[in-house]
Chain A
Amino acid sequence: MIPELGHFSLILALVMAALLGGVPLYGSFHGQSRLVALAKPAALAMWAYTFTAYACLTYAFVTDDFSVRYVVETSSAQLPLFYKVTGVWGAHEGSLLLWVMALASWSVAVSVFGGGVPTQVLARVLSVMGLIGAGFLLFILLTSNPFERVPMQPEGRDLNPLLQDFGLAVHPPMLYMGYVGFSVAFAFAIAAMLGGRLDAAWVRWARPWTNVAWVFLTMGIAGGSWWAYYELGWGGWWFWDPVENASLMPWLLGTALLHSLAVSEKRGLFKAWTVLLAIGAFSFSLLGTFLVRSGVLTSVHAFASDPGRGVFILLFLATVVGSSLLLFGIRAPRLATTGSFSLLSRETGLFANNLILLVMAFAVLLGTLFPLLSDALALGKISVGPPYFNTVMTPLMAALAVAMGAGLALRWRQDQARRLARVLGLPLAVALLTAVLAPWAFGAGLPGLAVLGLAMAGWIAFGSIAWAVRLRKAPWRWSGANWGALLGHLGLAVTLTGVTLVSVYSQAADVRLEPGQSHTLAGYAFTLQGVEQTQGDNYQAYRGTMQVTRGQDRIAVLHPEKRVYNVESMPTTEAGIDPGLFRDLFVALGEPLGEQGGWSVRIQYKPFVRWLWLGGLLMALGGAAGALDKRYRRLRQTGDVVPPSAALAQGA
């Protein structure tokens, strides 16, 4: 019964979404306020039915209902309860439902916190979100119904062992909240274009929402990287896999959008450009969905794909993005840009920022789709992998860093070169000095990449700090926007530092160790004390014990594991990690070798690897601080027009 109830709720959710997508929109064009007023209750109803369906699916997981195909394929009776709950989004069907949950939640949030927005505009925004929701609900119902029944099975096939981890509880929800969050800015832009009023108002309304979505996406990506690092067992943290690229592209465009919104709000410039970015950020989220679920590209994370699904998403993508861009083509020419700026001004800096971020997104897109293009044009099957992306992104990142270091210090409209030199001379000198001196601490010469990376990070960090100092205010009097700018930029500097140092100075060794033998790497002695067999809830494992010492100091005892899960009988490696702010020690167990209880073991020393994700966290904090800026609350209280997503951010 419960699965049927879930299925029925899903149909009702589709009805509500269609209602939300059609009726208030129609009403808004024909001056029928009763129809317009339907928007909020319809949004709430869409959420309620989606949630009911979601709860029913969770119930089927928790109660091991192996008459539901999706439960059979993604769960098992042995699976610990926690993973039954998170396993709901462990495969295609359920993760799509999570996607719609996120969309419905954003819609409700907009209807609740969008108090200052005129009713008519709010109705159109919710309608656009309703239409998107309707498309996805239709997709689920037609091609990916999670409630489909099969003859009762005695046992499920289990959740993919790699997903049986805390990371699954955090990474997908964050990522989806981010992807889908960009639909709010998108919906505001569409509503503004429909109304023909592309003044600064929509920009103000959309800005805090964009910030919050960006925070989620940043955390989602950083969290995914961290998860891959400890779970996949070889210590990599970014693979340039198509699915990672699919999340990076909206992030890059979303970052460009954040900055472009600032210019449009403050100076009335780049208006058409900002609308285009709002469309672009969300379009790339949809494109990512297509790439992951259509089977067009091979990917580590690709969901079991099916051409029928691919066709549906492609048609949906064509409809949503195509009609938005068509609307843009019609409305945008009316947007006259007012105001002027000189070559040396913050406007130019932000323009450069947008340009470089866009080029980065383009490079990622090109690299991801080029194998497809090459194949389609019969130019041969080729692979585009990490070496390409690293080669192309490094100079682009350097260009971005140059702009970022100076960016905050630049003044609007016009700045003087002499003033800038005075403000930025010291930060530049300190950054260069650090970049040359710091590698000495690691010994082994002066690698070019280390100097370049540290110079970029230092320039961004010290340039931003110099700006903050010149605010001439105590930090507790800084506005949310001040904090946002500083933390956002510092965060990237911290991530860049991590990327640079871990790429240049990591050390690794694959060695054979017998119990009692040790190997020394980067000054740490790793001694294998033994490997024993243990048993987990739903797996068998070999569990190694490895003692790490440095000189006389005992640093850590690590327990790398090699697991075989009962149902899938798939072996996985669980690394033993000793985390630290300045270095991680990472041990993974290979195969048993020889008679004397020897094992092949991979030992890694990864300096500053934590800084990768620490920087992500700082960036996210910055985004949140920006969304919490007093301006947005003040405007709302005075009856002006901004939705404070403050409450939402606090809730998250």
Chain B
Amino acid sequence: MRYAVPLGIFVLLLGLLWAGLGMNPREIPSPLLGRPAPAFRLPALAGQGAQVAPADMLGKVWVLNVWASWCSACRSEHQVLVDLAKRSQVLLLGLNYKDQPADAGEWLAQFGNPYAAVALDADGRAGIDWGVYGVPESFVVDQRGVVRRKFTGPLTAETVSGELLPLLEKLRAEGG
């Protein structure tokens, strides 16, 4: 029987490799899930001394979308966000990551502005606190200010209707 041991080990290894084919090694789960949203208070793109801070959002379900005008993957996502903002009353905050305010403003003027407000994270410090490693990324925050879900990579129409909207629905029902 012991001569069958190598075959047994190999079969286990095959199972692992097979599972591996379906996984994405580059996607890193966020340790923020279930924890309070990291604080920041940053100038808003709108200017006039306006500021954006997660602390002001308590009691609301909202989405933080990290984007930049230099990010080509954000382009494909942007249309999805604009549609989303039109169709439903999702509270969408933008975190403009390591970008020039002028470029960011021009981008929104050109492609439409789905955001309730956009925070300027010029030096990327807020990005580090949120564990951002590749824009675009999106975080869902509940009414108690806890991060509930992270989407890495561009949101698509399918993920929005299949995952994001049902989640927001559920979180709104939870109450404070």
Question: What 9 A-B pairs come out closest when comparing CB atoms?
Answer: A325-B7, A296-B20, A332-B3, A376-B19, A329-B4, A372-B20, A298-B25, A310-B21, A329-B3
- A35 in the interface, Cβ–Cβ < 8 Å? no
- Quick one: CB contact mask for B5-44 with A, threshold 8 Å, 1 for yes? 0110011011011111101011011000000000000000
Candidates A297, A321, A326; contact of B25 at CB < 8 Å: A297
Per the 8 Å Cβ criterion, residues 336-382 of A in contact with B are: 369, 371-373, 375-376, 380-381
A190 to B19, CA, bound (A): 29
Candidates B3, B11, B14, B23; contact of A372 at CB < 8 Å: B23
Is the CB–CB distance between A276 and B29 below 8 Å? Answer: no
A20 to B6, CA, bound (A): 28
Q: Which residues of B contact A296 (CB under 8 A)?
A: 17, 20-21, 23, 25
Per the 8 Å Cβ criterion, residues 29-77 of B in contact with A are: 29
A411 to B159, CA, bound (A): 69
A153 to B21, CA, bound (A): 33
Q: Which residues of B contact A371 (CB under 8 A)?
A: 25
A333 to B21, CA, bound (A): 35
| Closest CB in chain B relative to A363 CB, distance in Å | 15
A1 to B7, CA, bound (A): 47
Q: Which residues of B contact A375 (CB under 8 A)?
A: 23, 25
Q: Which residue of B lies closest to A318 (CB)?
A: B14
- 19 inter-chain pairs at a CB distance below 8 angstroms, sorted by A residue, are A283-B10, A294-B20, A296-B17, A296-B20, A296-B21, A296-B23, A297-B25, A298-B25, A310-B21, A314-B18, A318-B14, A321-B10, A322-B14, A325-B7, A326-B7, A328-B7, A329-B4, A376-B16, A381-B29
A311 to B17, CA, bound (A): 10
| Closest CB in chain B relative to A60 CB, distance in Å | 32
A376 to B13, CA, bound (A): 12
Q: Report if A380-B14 is in contact (Cβ < 8 Å); known contacts: A272-B3, A332-B3, A372-B20.
A: no
- Quick one: CB contact mask for B85-115 with A, threshold 8 Å, 1 for yes? 0000000000000000000000000000000
Is the CB–CB distance between B6 and A276 below 8 Å? Answer: yes
- A597 in the interface, Cβ–Cβ < 8 Å? no
Q: Which residues of B contact A280 (CB under 8 A)?
A: 6
Candidates A279, A311, A326, A380; contact of B21 at CB < 8 Å: A311
| Closest CB in chain B relative to A245 CB, distance in Å | 15
Q: Which residues of A contact B10 (CB under 8 A)?
A: 283, 321-322, 325
Q: Which residues of A contact B20 (CB under 8 A)?
A: 294, 296-297, 372, 376
- A386 in the interface, Cβ–Cβ < 8 Å? no
Q: Which residues of B contact A318 (CB under 8 A)?
A: 14
Interface residues on B, range: 10 to 19
| Closest CB in chain A relative to B58 CB, distance in Å | 30
Q: How many chain A residues touch the partner (CB < 8 A)?
A: 33
- A579 in the interface, Cβ–Cβ < 8 Å? no
Is the CB–CB distance between B7 and A314 below 8 Å? Answer: no
A311 to B20, CA, bound (A): 11
- Quick one: CB contact mask for A293-318 with B, threshold 8 Å, 1 for yes? 01111100000000100110010011
Q: Which residues of A contact B11 (CB under 8 A)?
A: 322
- A290 in the interface, Cβ–Cβ < 8 Å? yes
Q: Which residues of B contact A272 (CB under 8 A)?
A: 3
| Closest CB in chain A relative to B142 CB, distance in Å | 23
| Closest CB in chain B relative to A453 CB, distance in Å | 33
Assuming A325-B7, A328-B3, what are 4 further A-B pairs, CB within 8 angstroms?
A: A294-B17, A294-B20, A314-B21, A329-B3
| Closest CB in chain B relative to A535 CB, distance in Å | 29
Q: Which residues of B contact A311 (CB under 8 A)?
A: 21
Q: Which residues of A contact B18 (CB under 8 A)?
A: 314
Q: Which residue of B lies closest to A302 (CB)?
A: B25
| Closest CB in chain A relative to B127 CB, distance in Å | 19
- Quick one: CB contact mask for A367-408 with B, threshold 8 Å, 1 for yes? 001011101100011000000000000000000000000000
Q: Which residues of A contact B29 (CB under 8 A)?
A: 380-381
A373 to B152, CA, bound (A): 22
A380 to B23, CA, bound (A): 13
A333 to B6, CA, bound (A): 13
A381 to B26, CA, bound (A): 10
| Closest CB in chain B relative to A381 CB, distance in Å | 6
A451 to B176, CA, bound (A): 63
Q: Which residues of B contact A294 (CB under 8 A)?
A: 17, 20-21
A322 to B8, CA, bound (A): 9
